[in-house]
Amino acid sequence: MAGEVRRRVAVFDDEEELSLAAAGLFALQARRATVSRGRCDVLLSGGETPRRCYLMLGAEPLVSSIPWGALHLFWGDERHVPHDDPRSNYGMALRTLLRRAPLGEAQVHPVPCAGTVQGDALAYEQELRNHFAPGPAAFDLCFLGLGEDGHTASLFPGTPALRERERWVCEVQVPSQRFDRITLTAPVLNASSVIVFLVTGGAKAPAVKEVLEGERDPQRVPAQLIEPTQGRVVWLLDRDAARLLSQTTR
Ligand code: 6PG
């Protein structure tokens, strides 16, 4: 229906089942995009939740079922730390997936983190604009996580990046965070064909309920900004993360 966000919620017994489902969605969308337009542009998420999924993608049987030569990997956000820092989202993907999938250097687009956070955000935006030129950003697949405070990517409650509608990439300086961050903005994330949230653990249950069933207040619950303009949203939850949802949402 016009204006209605296409959203599906799937609940899994545990993180292993959820990770397998996420990896399967990645492989399916990679094949579909490659068949339909010869390329698949993916936004990877950070944090800990996607780790198991990335390990599955880099191993059999999935690794040989994915058309890696047609893929370009980007990040929806990054901690502004060196790529060899254990907190780096790129570093986590490198250790779990990138070293095991047949990807050329030109296909992997880490967020630069060697300069100032402002300069690196501008540089990443330019890299994205060059990649999608002459058109707008249009990712085929976007993985996202959810924080206990309702943040997604590095769109944190009450920060200026939430209101950004022109820039594709913003620097994020949040007092509660131990490091600066760089994030793609909501309009760019929402330009994705398929957005997949991966959320596990009971600690996330209140945030999940707030995002999916709570009063709409994106400044307080930034994940509510994620409403793809043309695409669809899939929420992959384990039972603990879904425990507060009403039956109608599941
Ligand atoms: C980051 C992520 C962030 C993450 C959530 C959930 O850089 O931290 O991009 O948005 O997805 O904070 O993190 P966990 O998966 O570690 O719970």
Residues 98-113: what's their mean pLDDT? Answer: 98
Residue 4 has pLDDT above 70, yes or no: no
117 pLDDT higher than 90: yes
Residue 17 CA, ligand 1 centroid: distance in Å: 19
Mean of pLDDT values over 116-127 = 98
% of the chain at pLDDT higher than 70 = 98
End-to-end CA distance of the chain: 20
CA of 36 relative to ligand 1 center, distance in Å: 31
pLDDT, tens only, 129-143: 999 999 999 999 999
Distance 235 CA to ligand 1 centre (A): 15
Residue owning the nearest CA to atom 12 of ligand 1 = 147
Residue 102: what pLDDT?
Answer: 97
Question: How far, in Å, is the centroid of ligand 1 from the Cα of 246?
Answer: 25
Report yes or no on whether pTM surpasses 0.85: yes
User: Ligand 1 pocket check: which of 151, 156, 189 to mutate, most ligand atoms within 8 Å of Cβ?
Assistant: 151
Confidence of residue 2 (pLDDT cuts 50, 70, 90): very low
Residue 223, pLDDT > 80, answer: yes
Mean pLDDT of the chain: 96
Confidence (pLDDT) at 66 = 98
Checking if the pLDDT of 5 tops 80, the result is no
| Nearest CA residue ID for atom 8, ligand 1 | 47
d(CA 171, CA 153): 12
pLDDT 10s digits, 141-200: 999 999 999 999 999 999 999 999 999 999 999 888 889 999 999 999 999 999 999 999
In tens, the pLDDT along 52-97 reads 999 999 999 999 999 999 999 999 999 999 999 999 999 999 999 9
Mean pLDDT calculated for residue range 205-227: 98
Cα(47) to ligand 1 centroid in Å equals: 4
E strands, the chain, are 6-12, 40-44, 71-75, 77-79, 141-144, 169-172, 181-184, 194-199, 232-238
Position 71 scores a pLDDT of: 98
Beta-bridged to residue 152, according to DSSP, are 155
Pocket test for ligand 1, best of 49, 75, 176, 195 (most atoms within 8 A of CB): 49
Q: Which residue has the higher pLDDT, 190 or 247?
A: 190
pLDDT above 60 for 3: no
| Count helices and strands in the chain by DSSP H and E runs | 7, 9
> At residue 1, does pLDDT exceed 70?
no
pLDDT at 248: 78
Query: What residues are in contact with ligand 1 under a 6 Å CB criterion?
Result: 45-49, 77, 79, 89, 145-147, 151-154
C-alpha 83 to ligand 1 mean position (Å): 16
Nearest CA residue ID for atom 13, ligand 1: 47
Q: Which runs of E-coded beta strand occur in 200-245?
A: 232-238
As given in the structure block, the two tokens for residue 221 are: 């619950």
Q: Who contacts 161 (Cβ-Cβ below 8 Å, separation ≥6)?
A: 154, 155, 170, 172, 183, 185
Kindly indicate the confidence band of residue 250, based on its pLDDT and cuts at 50, 70 and 90.
confident
